[in-house]
Amino acid sequence: MAEGLEVALTDLQSSWNNVQHHTDEISSSRLLVRRGQAFNITLYFRNRAFQPGLDNIIFVTETGPLPDLSKGTRAVFSLEGHPGSSPWIASLQTIGANSLEVSLCAPPMVAVGRYLLKVHIKSLQGPVTAYQLGEFILLFNPWCPEDAVYLESEPQRQEYVMNDYGFIYQGNKNWIRPCPWNYGQFEENIIDICLELLDKSLNFQIDPATDCALRGSPVYISRVVSAMINSNDDNGVLNGNWGENYSDGTNPTEWMGSVAILKQWHATGCQPVRYGQCWVFAAVTCTVMRCLGIPTRVITNFNSGHDTDRNLIIDEYYDNTGRILENKKKDSVWNFHVWNECWMARNDLPPGFGGWQVLDATPQETSNGLYCCGPASVRAIKEGEVDLNYDTAFAFSMVNADCMAWLVFGGKEQKLHQDTSTVGNFISTKSIQSDERDDITENYKYREGSLQERQVFLKALQKLKAGRSPGSLRTELQPRSVPLSDSPRSLATPSLQPSDVVQVSLKFQLLDSPDMGQDIRFVLLALNMSSQFKDLRVNLSAQSLLHDGSPLLPFWQDTAFITLSPEEAKIYPCKITYSQYSQYLSTDKLIRISALGEEKNSPEKILVKKIITLAYPSIVINVLGAAIVNQPLSIQVVFSNPLSEQVEDCVLTVEGSGLFRRQQRVLIGVLKPHHRASLTLETIPFKSGQRQIQANLRSNKFKDIKGYTNVYIGL
């Protein structure tokens, strides 16, 4: 009589399987596989060989605290295979003298997460024996055509899933600069922190069985991650702070990687990390989503609308000096705003709306009661289908709202002008396998000024109106108040700009690159487009802005009286000295200059504005010698104080996935005015391939002088 088959040992073949499943960067000792793709394991038996027909081997996989066959979080499937009994597949590979190699495959729609693998062995004569074979982690599979996150292009998969560094574009639409970022999605423990993040969500806390069952859907996962990256409703990863006081945390501009943030969140028992702003929320989201296997990229939208009352109009208020006022409605135009796009099928939407989806973890507005946003189909945004899930109307307003400028004077509001093209410029992301910037604005909207763009805008407006009570939505053509002017012109022809009426053009032009520590020199260009003499009074002002568009008090004002002959152009020179702006500058380094001009014989007013982002000199990083895995490497970091005053409390931070196992922090102390210094760091690279080193220098006067270099690490 044959005795029962006894398992002595299991080899999960982690190293080989992980290479096949593109997870070897995470680990070679733990099994991490992707759904819809087979992986092999070997069972070693204590007492005899496996005998087909005599021994029946049944595998069991379980995920979550309450595994359930009916919910798909528990599966039971036989090596012999009974078609239709389970979507999981087990097939025989090879039979050895005392071993059995088996191929297992998870269905391409099953929940991702941490799984327990068990086996039940039933021999003809012996008792049923059960063994726990081990744990594995199951991830989304963009290489599998049946997976909802399937991405056909291998270069895109390498960029949007496998690349662990990148750039986040910042600055303003006239001065776009790349900020290097270490996503580090394959660094030690990051996968565990990502799964912990899912388990800390409100959905899991309320109903863990249902939450785990829904984790097969990238739409569901993306909404959970979007809510968990901010901490507005839960113990999410980051606290947002758009003020000026970061003394009890880290200034958002200092961060240059996600790993330090996620590890701090985990190490403190999931207490939110202080502080983040939009690019930090988006960067950490990118790390988590790429780690889970969902193709993800980081997107920057310059002049991004935040429309709080869902009428697709951003109202801005000015006083008679041209100073922008705090917005009582909280509508705003952010200098830039950063979100994510994630690639997935959208079987919950009509055909044609899959592909890239907007996901925004920055807590701006609630969605179904939680601070999350998306996934919103990029194609739906372009076509004005603002009634499609999720949060498409809000995403549409970020790229395509109109701007209305109002003059507040004597308790009244006068409409200055309406601008249809200010919001949504130079929508940017890192190019595939290149350090260049891709402009993807055309993915989001038709060309500004085109008939299609206005038709889509009106379609979106009508859809929003249909979802609200009659009369609750102001259309873009209705006047809100009677202007100070008695002239009916601004109401009769709302598209006519004041400069067309007055026939005078005003424009700012910088004379030098606006570098931190230097005076800002610029001119106001005034052009008379008429055949009449023009007497202009122009009020000029400058004020710092916070990143979300909130204005600070003006620190510079001037008044110009300009007389123009017919068709004459004149230049009015301006200068703001470093001593005038230095103490008023926010850490966002944004200065808004504006001019409000009026002509003696016209009630119309002309508003012109320009945003200046002050630049720092970059840190220079030099790799000294060839970079080889497990061989010592010297890295020189060269940095300087750009200011004409001494700075203190200087700290240099350096990191880079595959090169440093943790952030390197060097206390520099004091840097004298314009002093240039360098230091050399030693490290031992532990991963091969293309890598990036990021560096940041902070002091009591500045927080984010950055630099980066790419380095190829050979084997």
Mean pLDDT confidence for 411-428: 91
Q: Kindly list the distances between the CA atom of residue 498 and the CA atoms of 206, 405, 493, 595, in Å, as whole numbers in the listed order.
A: 56, 11, 11, 13
Residues 6+ apart with CB under 8 A from 174: 610, 611
Q: What angle do CA 528, 531, 536 make, to 5 degrees?
A: 40
| Whether residue 196 sits in one domain with residue 52 | no
Least confident of 387-396, 403-412, 706-715: 403-412
Using N-to-C axis directions, what is the helix angle for 190-199 and 218-229, rounded to 10°? 90
Report residue 102: phi and psi, to 5°.
Answer: -125, 145
Give percent of the chain above pLDDT 90.
Answer: 79
518 phi, psi to nearest 5 deg: -105, 160
Determine how many CB atoms are found less than 10 A away from the CB of residue 279: 24
Apex 64 CA angle, 61 and 70, nearest 5:
65
Q: How far is CA 543 from the centre of its chain?
A: 28
Element (H, E) at 358: strand 355-359
Averaged pLDDT of the chain: 91
* 85: confidence class by pLDDT, cuts 50, 70, 90: confident
Q: d(Cα 674, Cα 373) in Å, to the nearest integer?
A: 44
pLDDT over 70 at 328, yes or no = no
d(CA 159, CA 296): 9
Residue 476 belongs to a domain: no
Q: Are 557 and 582 members of one domain?
A: yes
Task: Clarify whether residues 609 and 631 are in a common domain.
Answer: no
Output the six-digit token pair for 692: 């990036």
- Determine, yes or no, domain membership for 475: no
Q: Is 254 annotated as a binding residue?
A: no
* pLDDT computed for residue 329 by the predictor: 62
Range of the domain at 41: 7-139
Whether 626 and 600 map to the same domain: the answer is: no
Does 429 lie in the same domain as 561? Answer: no
Residue 713 has pLDDT above 80, yes or no: yes
The rounded distance, in Å, linking the Cα atoms of 539 and 22 is: 61
> What pLDDT does 363 receive?
87
Q: Annotated binding residue at 448?
A: yes
Convert 148-187 into a string of H (helix), E (strand) and C (coil): CCCCCCHHHHHHHHHCCEEEEEEEECCEEEEEEEECCCCC
Predicted confidence at residue 497, as pLDDT, reads 62
pTM of the model: 0.93
The one-letter amino acid at 444? Y
Q: What is the pLDDT averaged over residues 520-528?
A: 97
What per-residue confidence (pLDDT) applies to 473? 35
Distance CA 5, CA 54 (A): 10
**Is there a domain that residue 682 lies in?**
yes
Residues 574 and 657 in one domain: no
Q: Is residue 557 part of a domain?
A: yes
Q: What percent of the chain has pLDDT over 70?
A: 94
Exposed / middle / buried, residue 43 (Cβ in 10 Å: 0-12, 13-18, 19+) = buried
* Lowest-confidence segment of 401-415, 468-482, 489-503, 568-582 by average pLDDT: 468-482
In a domain, 465, yes or no: no
Mean pLDDT of 310-317: 89
pLDDT in tens, 526-551: 999 999 999 999 999 999 988 888 88
Q: Which residues pair with 32 in a beta bridge?
A: 137
Domain boundary among 613, 630, 658: 613
Q: Are residues 233 and 301 in the same domain?
A: yes
Neighbours of 99 (CB within 10 A): 16
Bridge partners, 640 (sequence order)? 676
| CATH number assigned to the domain comprising residue 609 | 2.60.40.10
What's the mean pLDDT in 178-195?
97
Same domain, 531 and 560: yes
Question: Does 116 reside within a domain?
Answer: yes
CA 545 to mean position of chain CA atoms: 21
Does residue 400 have a known ligand-binding role?
yes
Does the N-terminal peptide bond of residue 390 adopt cis geometry, omega within 30 degrees of 0?
yes
Q: What single letter denotes the amino acid at residue 522?
A: F
pLDDT mean over 193-219: 98
Q: Answer yes or no: are the C-beta atoms of 604 and 490 closer than 8 Å.
A: yes
Of 204-208, 244-248, 300-304, 679-683, minimum mean pLDDT range: 244-248
How would you class 555 by CB atoms within 10 Å of its CB: exposed for 0-12, middle for 13-18, buried for 19 or more? middle
Residue 243 binned pLDDT confidence (cut-offs 50, 70, 90): confident
Q: Give pLDDT, residue 320.
A: 86
Average pLDDT over residues 112-136: 92
- Domain stops at, among 552, 581, 613: 613
Based on DSSP, count helices (H) and strands (E) in the chain, helices before strands: 15, 36
**380: helix, coil or strand?**
helix
Segment 74-91 mean pLDDT: 85
Of the candidates 239, 296, 294, 300, the residue with the CA atom closest to the CA atom of residue 264: 239
233 is in an annotated binding site: no
Measured in residues, the chain has a length of: 715
Q: According to the model, what pLDDT value does residue 289 have?
A: 98
pLDDT band at 489 (very low <50, low <70, confident <90, very high): very low
Amino acid 322: pLDDT:
84
| CA R_g for the chain | 30
In this structure, which amino acid lies at residue 155?
P
Q: Longest C-alpha distance within the chain, in Å?
A: 115
Structure tokens at 478: 């209705």
- Report yes or no: 398 and 305 within 8 Å, Cβ to Cβ: yes
The residues annotated as belonging to the active site are 278, 337, 360
Residue 326 pLDDT > 50: yes
- Number of independent structural domains in the chain: 4
Beta bridge partners of 78: 58
Residues 605 and 628 occupy one common structural domain: no
Look at residue 484 and tell me if it is in a domain.
no
Name which of 96, 381, 64, 304 is nearest 199 in CA terms. 64
Neighbouring residues of 452: CB distance < 8 A, sequence distance ≥ 6 = 446
Instruction: Based on the fold, state whether residues 554 and 692 are members of the same structural domain.
Output: no
Contact 310, 546 (CB under 8 A): no
Question: 402 by DSSP, 3-state: which?
Answer: strand
Same-domain pairing of 410 and 272? yes
Cα(225)–Cα(198) distance, integer angstroms: 7
Q: Which of 115, 139, 163 is the last residue of a domain?
A: 139
Tell whether 108 is covered by a domain: yes
Pair 536, 424 in one domain: no
Considering only CA atoms, which of 47, 59, 58, 64 is closest in space to residue 8? 47
Residue 265: give its domain's CATH number. 3.90.260.10
Strands 238-240 and 273-276: parallel
